[in-house]
Amino acid sequence: MSSYLLFYDVYKTVYDEFDSAINRPVSSFKTEMEYTYITYVKSLLMFDSLRDAIGAPKTEKCLKALYHDFAFSEISPQEFCVCMEKVSGRKIAKFLKSWLDGTVVLEEFA
């Protein structure tokens, strides 16, 4: 959680405005650096936060299930969410939507 807050503070300092939505067209990113930070760095922070919330063993089990069910194919956020909820036993839809839409609300998932 603290890593996301640090990311947010630094990013907002560098760029006066901050659209942290991951789920948006590539053309909406102003620079290559913005694209990299939002799609790669923020996504990593999202997975790290999810692992902290459900635990490393369940995360590994979920990722193995995702690989088994979707190997070599594209997966939608909805399919990801359904698989993760099924395996982890936790409701993550709001959590995932908040990260993808740029409205992160972590206290609801803690």
Nearest to 54 by CA among 62, 66, 44, 43: 62
Q: How confident is the model at residue 105 (pLDDT cuts 50, 70, 90)?
A: low
Cα–Cα dist 43/27, whole Å = 18
Q: Can you give the length of the chain in residues?
A: 110
pLDDT in tens, 68-97: 999 999 999 899 999 999 999 999 998 888
Q: How far is CA 106 from the centre of its chain?
A: 11
